[in-house]
Amino acid sequence: MALMRDAPAQSCPSTAERLVIGGANDVCGPPGTAAPAFRAGTLVLAASLAIAVALTMTRRSGVSRAGLGVLLLGAAVVAAPGARALLVDRADAPLRAGATASTVANLLGDLDGYVSEHHGCVAEIHDDCLACQPLLRFVVPRRVACARRDGRIDLAADTLASALPSPASRPCAVEQGALECGHTP
Amino acid sequence: MRPYALMVAIWLALAPALVFAALGAGLERLSGLGLAAGWGRWPRWTACGLTAVFAAYMHPAIALLVAGLVFAARRGAGGPTTPRALVVGSRDTDGKWSALVPVAIALAAVAVLRPAVPMYWDTFVWLGKARIESEGLGALRTAAIDPTADVIPHGYPLLWPLAASWFSMFAKDAASLVAGAAATTLLALLLFLDAAADAFEGGERPPSGFDRRPRWALGGAMALLLVTPMFWVHLRSAYADLPVGLLAATCTLRLGRCLEGAEDVRRDLGAAVVAAMALAGTKDEGIGHVVAIVLAAVAVQPKAGRREALQWLAVLGSAAVVFLGWRALLQAHHVLNTDHELSTPAFEAFGSIGQIVAASAGDTRTWGALWPVAGAAVVAVLARRASFRPATRLAAFALLGEATLLGSALILGPDRVRAFAFAGTLVNRLLVQLVPPTGALLLLGLGDAASRAAARRLSDAQSS
């Protein structure tokens, strides 16, 4: 699990790197990143909705279809900014998911291919890329007993940030037996 | 590398699911637990087969102990054996399911129509563990209890990565493992929808002052749950938190139906036992959910008889056997689950933890209005207990208990847990576990309110 997270000034995880690090922790950044007026407005609306739900559930006449419809409409209004983030802003939004997936898959493929060639027995991994940590864990999920270890993986800090979604792009290159990833000029 | 298709290969899971379902059906025949009824029998059988294989996978002794508890559950279920003709494919059950079919199809489509590659941090970690099992049946267990293998997170229960591996037919590639995880999430989702349909119907006949809960209330309450943005993020991830919540809600709804006096509770009890075992096998928090749910049942029916006590023992006991059995295995092999060990209570952090929980729950971009609404529903049910049926009261007590237990884990857990909470990576994920139990409460509570209104209209019409 990622112990670090995005700077509070940033909001939605709109790049592959930020999606990997914090995409499942919230929808659009930590609570403090929303504008105060927006937070206050939606919270007041949510509180009003909560009171309406409590009254609806406890009053003698119960709940009607129309009443439930109004509650649902209110809930949808409060959730609308989050829905927009899911559908538009995030890197896994429907129209952006393909490119993000290709970016991640390209890097994952390069790492996995190199580790497989070395039968999981890579001698050294130098990782400056926070977002690459979980990918490495997927590629090397456990320590294996090796007669001999060789090769090296070098992940620069910008590895995932500089990776491209193009199927032809290669985020990593093998140089002198080592897998070098990132290092944007 | 080719561009990724925006759909996971869910069909990979069909063959393993059929094998598990066949095993589950066989076990059901042997045990006498009535899991077979309507379309919901397929997820029930599959989950039964999966949890049985998992229990035996961990240790044969664990499987034997669970079998003993299932025997107790059978005694607890009591009642006459329902003729098979009345159980299999009963029109009533299929009718309830039909109300939820559009919801199930839509949710399954969203879960499946996504890139077949991991995209969030823990997804890689969970599927990495699942990948170990691709070396052969038992490989993950061997690695997980080997302290030198460095399988992280250390000592976590294994059902989640195992299910992803088994449903992907021991795949090694990321795309197939994502499909396996999606299939496991869908299984939990179907168990929840099945339980929701049954629980919404309630017992044999509604108590005085209530009519049947109308179907439109089921749809409306489900829609209230589905306008939660975070739900959709986790439905498309391979994190275990949403499935844990779905299983907890399933267990709550099934035990609630037992309390509402269904004549033959074998199906509910059997499904509750399966859900409880899966909960304990998926995450350590799972046993906390089961404890909270059973305590809630005791609170709703404090003067219960032997029959109810046996039911609760079966549910709690089967989860405890899985949880403690795994812990014993870890201890025997000197593997420490450092994330989930109890430590000196950090009472001084109470205020700051409360603040971060409140801030997270009040983040409307992530949660919409879910948590204020959930709080209002709990208060409404507890303040006007007589206005709600036993299953609804159970759902409210259970949600309160589960929230308390998860919150207390932040105080009683090691420093590392609080570090994650303050870094903003933990609290929302614990809240995800409470989303389906909140959905269970809303659908029962709003269903009760609607059924009271219907009963009142009927009464007015008769008197006039």
Q: What is the pLDDT of residues B450-460, one digit of tens each?
A: 998 888 888 88
pLDDT digits (tens, 9 = 90+) for B61-77: 999 999 988 887 777 66
CA distance B379 to A54: 7
Say which range, A68-77, A156-165, B224-233, B270-279, has the weakest mean pLDDT: A156-165
ipTM given for this complex: 0.92
CA distance B199 to B249: 11
Interface with chain B: mutation pick from A18, A20, A27, highest number of B CBs within 10 Å: A27
Partner-chain contact A57 B445, CB within 8 Å: yes
Using DSSP's 3-state secondary structure scheme, residue A169 falls into coil
Average pLDDT, integer, range A7-30? 85
What pLDDT score was predicted for residue B144? Answer: 96
- Sorting pLDDT into bands at 50, 70 and 90, what band is A5? very low
Interface with chain A: mutation pick from B162, B363, B426, B456, highest number of A CBs within 10 Å: B363
Instruction: Say whether pLDDT at B93 is over 60.
Output: no
Q: Which residue has the tokens 């329902």?
A: B82
Is A179's Cβ below 8 Å from some Cβ in B?
no
**Portion of chain B with pLDDT greater than 70, in percent:** 93
> What's the gap in Å between the CA of A34 and the closest CA on chain B?
8
**Portion of chain A with pLDDT greater than 90, in percent:** 69
> What's the gap in Å between the CA of A159 and the closest CA on chain B?
15
Look at B98 and B254; give whichever has higher pLDDT: B254
Average pLDDT, integer, range A80-99? 94
Alpha carbon B449 to its chain's center: 25
Instruction: Say whether pLDDT at B2 is over 60.
Output: no
Instruction: Name residue B440's beta-bridge partners.
Output: none
Q: Contacts of residue B453 in chain A, CB cutoff 8 Å?
A: 61-64
What pLDDT score was predicted for residue B87? Answer: 40
What pLDDT score was predicted for residue B76? Answer: 65
pLDDT digits (tens, 9 = 90+) for B431-441: 999 999 999 99
Instruction: Say whether pLDDT at B128 is over 90.
Output: yes
Instruction: Tell me the C-alpha to C-alpha distance, in Å, between residue B132 and each of A23, A42, B171, B271, B384.
Output: 25, 45, 10, 30, 52
Q: What does the mean pLDDT of chain A come to?
A: 88
Instruction: Say whether pLDDT at B361 is over 90.
Output: yes
Look at B86 and A117; give whichever has higher pLDDT: A117
Backbone φ/ψ region at B138: left (φ over 0), alpha (ψ -120 to 50), beta: left
Partner-chain contact A79 B131, CB within 8 Å: no
DSSP A2-41: -S----TT--S--SHHHHHHHTTT-SSS-GGGS-HHHHHH
Say which range, A170-174, B36-40, B232-236, has the weakest mean pLDDT: B36-40
Size of interface A-B (CB pairs under 8 A): 260
Is A21's Cβ below 8 Å from some Cβ in B?
yes
Partner-chain contact B1 A81, CB within 8 Å: no
> What's the gap in Å between the CA of B223 and the closest CA on chain A?
7
Instruction: Say whether pLDDT at B444 is over 50.
Output: yes
- Sorting pLDDT into bands at 50, 70 and 90, what band is B23? very high
Look at A6 and A85; give whichever has higher pLDDT: A85
Look at B1 and B327; give whichever has higher pLDDT: B327
> Cα torsion at B231, B125, B428, A22 (round to 10°)?
-90
Among B365, B375, B428, beta carbon nearest to A25: B428
Q: Which residue of A has its CA nearest to B121?
A: A20
Among A3, A24, A46, beta carbon nearest to B234: A24
Is A34's Cβ below 8 Å from some Cβ in B?
yes
What pLDDT score was predicted for residue B78? Answer: 63
What pLDDT score was predicted for residue A170? Answer: 81
pLDDT digits (tens, 9 = 90+) for A142-176: 988 888 889 999 999 999 888 877 767 788 999 99
Interface with chain B: mutation pick from A58, A84, A86, highest number of B CBs within 10 Å: A58
Say which range, A44-48, B85-89, B113-117, B127-131, has the weakest mean pLDDT: B85-89
Instruction: Say whether pLDDT at B307 is over 90.
Output: no
Partner-chain contact A143 B148, CB within 8 Å: yes
Q: How is the beta sheet containing A122-127 ordered, strand by strand?
A: A122-127, A150-155, A178-181, A172-175
At A150, which helix (H) or strand (E)?
Answer: strand A150-155
What pLDDT score was predicted for residue B344? Answer: 86
Average pLDDT, integer, range B151-171? 95
- Sorting pLDDT into bands at 50, 70 and 90, what band is A84? very high
